[in-house]
Amino acid sequence: MKAENLLASASINIGVAMFILSLFSILKKQPSNAPIYYPRPISLNHHIFLDERFTFSRFLPSLEWVRRASRVSEGQILQQCGLDVLVFIRLFKFGINFFTVSCVVGVLVLLPLNYIDGDRLSSQFHSVNSFTISNIKGGSNRLWVHLSCLYFISCYGLYLLYKEYKDIWLKRIQQLHNLRHRPDQFTVLVREIPFCNEHKAYGCCVDHFFSKHYPSSYQSYQILYDCEELEKLLIHGKSIRERIEKLTQQSLTNRYTRRSDSSKIEILKEMLQDVCRKIRHIRGEAMLSEKELPVAFVTFRSRLGAALAAQSQQHSNPLVWITGIAPEPRDVLWSNLAIPYRHLPLHEIVVFLLASLLTIFFAIPVTAIQGIAKFEKLRKWFPPAMAVQLIPGLRSIVTGYLPSVILNFFIYIVPFCMIAMAQMAGYISRSKKDIKACNMVFYFLVRNAFFLSLLSGSLLDQIGESFTHPKDFPSHLASAVSAQADFFMTYILTNGLFGFSLEILQPGLFMWNYIKSHTWHRGKRKTAYLNSIPYYRIIPFVALSILIGMVYAIISPLLLPFLVGYFLLGYVVFINQIEDVYITYYETCGQYWPCIYLYILVALILMQITMVGVFGLKSKPSASISTIPLLLLTFSFNEYCKRRFVPTFHKYSMQDAKKNDELDEQNGLMEANLQNALDAYCPPFLRPVDFEVEESCSTQPLISPK
């Protein structure tokens, strides 16, 4: 890559980022934009100090939001937002710590070494490639320095991973202790309940089974119902109520339409009465018994009893009486609980096929992007492209900046496709759905945005050779990686500077709020735009940047300073977002960390495999062989972590359950926490409605009697 191409990309991205961040700092000071940039404090009824006077300082850019973000501690994040959010922020801190040390090694050791060893008469000596390992002569003993740096960086990465894993593991145990009032610690989700032919229901089987096998700890149960019709009626009833309120308000302000509005209101009230009668009919005991599902939430008198029931096989046939730890009530996806457990493998197959189709179709734009990035190929395929050379500097923009922008545009839609597929998979909680989407997005990006970008030049040939000669895969990978260093450098610049700047500005929401407040919503009270952190949209892209950085840490150390800037900017941006914008819809107590750990481990392994191939290409087989012990060390480290830490993230230990039970009994909190659990798992469609004629919509008892 020519230096002017990299300079063009860096200049455009830095200029755009500075403009967007300056615009954000101005817009954030305007009181009218508080619903966009301060929705979290508004929802928590916190006071926001915004100067409403027309002053010059309101329209000057400032770095106050950066200073404020830098003062936020991990303890504050954990207390206010939970462990999931802290794990999310720790991902950025891992990137800062890892790439700062790697940058020091790369800039002070590898960059001078690569530059000095090159051929000064070579055409690439005055290009960016002169700072990469491709500038080292084949068989040079200087490659041992690269091997030493590889060992140092890999061992430092493993040390950071272990340190993070242990710290988050301890925080998870403490968080479960701090949240011991949560109802999910007393509750078990039971699926595939056998049907009782005698009573023609599922509920009596639940009561009989758990009363018999858990007589000392079983408390009660909540059977679930297939009430799709009831949900539609509730939505319809709420829409009628809103229309009544709107017409009532309109009749008070406009006396000319008062008579017609009154007649419309009477008609709507009759419709609402009819809807309420239908709701009351469906909620009748006889109707509900016909709609029972083989799914129930079972409440126990102690956490120990719930943990034993959730984590053990209840029947000799593993496909009946399937138990698991219940998700917390706000995390439950009620509609997915109606999907039969036996049908879930079919849903998984459909999701796999859809993801495969998306992968295949995505190959088309990625291959086209690489054609733009390589101007020589572009001229060969599309001769009119030579006209680009006629305008000074345009070629640098087209080949250095445009490909990364197009790639970011196409992969922006991937998370939304994956979250829709994860919804189809039938997961019972938002957290499991989001974690599944995270995994799908990350591995999609690794396949398509990374490997496909590497191999798109001669895709089919190289894939075919990799399958027929697996031992040659490292050398193929190393050759492709070395050739694409320039493209990924511009990708990191675009994804970081441009992407994070747009994240904090939220231009789409800003435009929507502006249009809304100046048209149909003018004069009305503004509501805050509340959203949860889109983990599935952010974590995979950050993990991909870590993977790119690790793979190129030894090959092209010039990339490392850009990555340090990427993670520093991402850190302050998302600290601002979690403080002022995003709210927490659920708390899994750190269950995202095992996935993040695996993403980083994949990056470390790819870095080491790539270097095996690089040393082979550089005619240094002894260095390639010396890399194998490092690979074995990495795999051994992973096996240790799987046995040492992973089980705690998926199970609730008997020791912790018993300890929390004893603590609650000492403090007299057991009864209150148990009652909270009994009331928490009522399906939304069985809760009291808030219609204007609510008295006609009486409900059945929320918890089925024991």
Closest C-alpha to 677, from 328, 392, 340: 328
Scanning 293-429, the segments in alpha helix (DSSP H) are 303-310, 344-373, 375-381, 394-400, 402-412, 414-424
Asked if residue 249 lies in contact with residue 264, where contact means CB atoms within 8 angstroms, the answer is no
Kindly compute the dihedral angle of the four CA atoms of residues 323, 325, 330, 335, in this order, to the nearest 10 degrees.
-20
Element (DSSP H or E) covering residue 694: none
Distance in angstroms (rounded) separating the CA atoms of residues 625 and 615: 9
Asked if residue 620 lies in contact with residue 139, where contact means CB atoms within 8 angstroms, the answer is yes
Q: Residue 41 is encoded by which pair of tokens?
A: 């404090």
> Model-level pTM?
0.86
Phi, psi (5° rounding) for residue 293? -105, 155
Better-predicted residue by pLDDT, 71 or 47: 71
Closest C-alpha to 148, from 628, 619, 626: 626
Distance in angstroms (rounded) separating the CA atoms of residues 543 and 433: 19
Question: Which of 71-75, 157-161, 367-371 is the most confident on average?
Answer: 157-161
Closest C-alpha to 174, from 663, 665, 656, 674: 656
Cα Dmax for the chain = 94
Better-predicted residue by pLDDT, 509 or 171: 171
Q: Residue 427 is encoded by which pair of tokens?
A: 């997961």
> Could you tell me how far CA 144 lies from the centroid of its own chain?
39
pLDDT, tens digit (0-9, with 9 covering 90-100), for 90-116: 999 999 999 999 999 999 998 888 877
Asked if residue 331 lies in contact with residue 427, where contact means CB atoms within 8 angstroms, the answer is no
pLDDT, average across residues 35-59 = 81
Distance in angstroms (rounded) separating the CA atoms of residues 100 and 105: 9
Q: What is the CA radius of gyration of the chain?
A: 30
Asked if residue 325 lies in contact with residue 652, where contact means CB atoms within 8 angstroms, the answer is yes
Q: What percent of the chain has pLDDT over 70?
A: 81
pLDDT at 395: 55
Cβ neighbours for 288, distance < 8 A, ≥ 6 positions apart: 225, 282, 700
Q: How confident is the model at residue 492 (pLDDT cuts 50, 70, 90)?
A: confident
Asked if residue 584 lies in contact with residue 84, where contact means CB atoms within 8 angstroms, the answer is yes
Q: Cβ of 66: how many Cβ atoms within 10 Å?
A: 15
pLDDT, average across residues 467-480 = 58
pLDDT at 472: 58
Better-predicted residue by pLDDT, 695 or 38: 38
CA distances from 543 to 77, 121, 536, 550 (A): 21, 39, 11, 11
- Write the DSSP assignment of 233-285 as a string of letters: HHHHHHHHHHHHHHHHHHHHH-GGGHHHHHHHHHHHHHHHHHHHHHHHHHTSH
Closest C-alpha to 41, from 518, 698, 501, 577: 577
Distance in angstroms (rounded) separating the CA atoms of residues 388 and 650: 56
Least trusted range by pLDDT, from 160-164, 194-198, 320-324? 194-198
Element (DSSP H or E) covering residue 322: strand 322-325
Q: Residue 510 is encoded by which pair of tokens?
A: 């800003």
Q: Residue 92 is encoded by which pair of tokens?
A: 């950025």
Distance in angstroms (rounded) separating the CA atoms of residues 13 and 24: 16
- Write the DSSP assignment of 528-590 as a string of letters: ---EE--HHHHHHHHHHHHHHHHHHHHH-GGGHHHHHHHHHHHHHHHHHHHHHTEE-S---SS
Distance in angstroms (rounded) separating the CA atoms of residues 509 and 364: 31
Residue 692 predicted with pLDDT over 50? no
Distance in angstroms (rounded) separating the CA atoms of residues 482 and 457: 13
Distance in angstroms (rounded) separating the CA atoms of residues 140 and 374: 29
Place of tokens 């999907």: 339
pLDDT, tens digit (0-9, with 9 covering 90-100), for 528-554: 888 889 999 999 999 999 999 999 899
- Length, in residues, of the chain: 706
Distance in angstroms (rounded) separating the CA atoms of residues 597 and 645: 11
Distance in angstroms (rounded) separating the CA atoms of residues 166 and 533: 24
Q: What percent of the chain has pLDDT over 90?
A: 36
Please give, one letter per residue, the 3-state secondary structure of 470-503.
HHHHHHHHHHHHHHCHHHHHHHHHHHHHHHHHHH
Asked if residue 405 lies in contact with residue 411, where contact means CB atoms within 8 angstroms, the answer is no
Distance in angstroms (rounded) separating the CA atoms of residues 607 and 552: 8
Strand partners, 201: 196
Residue 1 predicted with pLDDT over 70? no
pLDDT, tens digit (0-9, with 9 covering 90-100), for 216-240: 999 999 888 877 777 788 888 888 8
